[in-house]
Amino acid sequence: RECWRLTTRSGRTIVATDNHPFLKVGGWTPLSELEVGDRIAVPREVPVFGECDWSSERIRLLAYFIAEGGLTGRMPRFTNADPVIVDDFERCVYEEFESCAVTNIGITYTVRYIGDRFRGCNDVTAWLKSLELMGKSALEKRFPDVVWTFSREQLVDFVRVVMSCDGTVYPLRGYARIEFAVASENLARDMHHALIRLGIVSKFWFKKERCWRVEITEPASVDRYQREIGWLGEKTQRRFSERPGGRALRSNIGAPPAEVWELVRKALDNAGMSFAELSRRCGENSSNPHTRRSLPQRRLAMYAEVLDDDDLRFLAKPDLYWDEVVSIGYDGERDVYDLTVPMGSNFIADDICVHNSSLLSDFALAAGKRTQPVVLFSLEMSRQEVVQRFLSSE
């Protein structure tokens, strides 16, 4: 079937058919009805982890070679000038590979085999080959599959090392801003996804040739990165402004868009309450609700409790991030599959909230058009929603 590629402001991308539903404030909406500028729900966190029997030293060593490794020669090399990072790199090599030693020329460190060269081989080289990393240039690097089997603690260790080598943290108006810049698109995409697994919202984007960036600017995500992941070496010494009173810097980035005010108005009408009374009960100082702006989730959550409205409670969930659609483009014909899941009928694909597709209802509609009698049972849509689904497809 024909497919389209949708990209969001944060850099998340998905390829889907035009009937595949995405979550807007007003409900599940087919891709064909989405427009650039719409906000769709994406998860702030995808906490999927595995179990890996690797030691912390082996995990850190993998991260060092991915970040600063020279892997296109006969022997693996590592280049870095930070003494703390270099010491840790050497320690990881000696702990994991007793048959190898590290020598250096300047700030470039080479891992060599120190046994009988006629009876053995460089075990680090063999290990990197098994991970399909040896021979890869900076443009070709990406996370090997084993990374996605790490536990949360192991993934934190891995990300900390990669970011300490290829990332940076610097002040913007006194507050921390975190960036990761590399030549490989796949490596940047992998870091973007790893941060999502750890609950950190970031932006993936292309800056210029051979420069793909992942930026963490949302205050809550910057704070979480600094608190839960952190740095190695010199970057641990960098200091930034404290939040006034120790409070987190607030931001409307990723908040429910202005359309949510229509649902607030409906809830107010149902409760027979004015905006002024709602503001008073929520302890707000101003009766001007600023309905042309997005509505921060903390305020929406207060409104939901005062109005006792489940729809508003859902939209106020802190694990949802409302990401702006920046492009929708034709992506050609592809083999597609009708994926259906139970218990809520929605799932995460490419780090975006999506819903069971409507292929079966499309079959029912096609049969109905041929005057065939059709009975459709749906456990996820009301009768009115089924009718609306059919009408919207015309």
DSSP string, 241-274: PPPGGGPPPP--TT---TTHHHHHHHHHHHHT--
Whether the pLDDT of residue 166 is over 80: the answer is yes
Digit-coded pLDDT (tens) for 35-93: 999 999 999 999 999 999 999 999 999 999 999 999 999 999 999 999 999 999 999 99
CA distance 22 to 11: 16
Q: 355: pLDDT confidence band, cut at 50, 70 and 90?
A: confident
Q: 336: pLDDT confidence band, cut at 50, 70 and 90?
A: confident
User: What pLDDT, on a 0 to 100 scale, did the predictor assign at position 3?
Assistant: 94
Q: How many CB atoms lie within 10 A of CB 28?
A: 21
Fold of 2-43+320-392: Endonuclease - Pi-scei; Chain A, domain 1 (2.170.16)
**Contact predicate 1/328, CB 8 Å:** no
What sign does the CA torsion over 383, 384, 385, 386 have? positive
Whether the pLDDT of residue 240 is over 80: the answer is no
More confident residue, 311 or 251: 311
User: What pLDDT, on a 0 to 100 scale, did the predictor assign at position 379?
Assistant: 44
Q: 231: pLDDT confidence band, cut at 50, 70 and 90?
A: very high
Whether the pLDDT of residue 254 is over 70: the answer is yes
Chain-centroid distance of CA 238 in Å reads 26
Give the range among 99-108, 135-144, 163-172, 337-346 with minimum mean pLDDT.
337-346
- The whole model's pTM is what? 0.86
Digit-coded pLDDT (tens) for 8-18: 999 999 999 99
**Contact predicate 39/326, CB 8 Å:** no
Digit-coded pLDDT (tens) for 275-292: 889 988 988 876 667 778
Segments in the chain forming alpha helices (H): 56-68, 83-96, 123-130, 152-166, 185-197, 219-228, 260-271, 275-281, 297-307, 310-315, 359-369, 383-392
Whether the pLDDT of residue 258 is over 60: the answer is yes
Fold of 45-239: Endonuclease I-creI (3.10.28)
Q: 365: pLDDT confidence band, cut at 50, 70 and 90?
A: low
CA distance 163 to 244: 28
- Each domain of the chain, given as residue ranges in start order, spans 2-43+320-392, 45-239, 259-316
Q: Which helix (H) or strand (E) covers residue 15, if one does? A: strand 13-16
More confident residue, 294 or 186: 186
Q: Tell me the mean pLDDT in the region 206-217.
A: 91
User: What pLDDT, on a 0 to 100 scale, did the predictor assign at position 305?
Assistant: 94
Whether the pLDDT of residue 242 is over 90: the answer is no
Mean pLDDT of the chain: 88
More confident residue, 123 or 115: 123
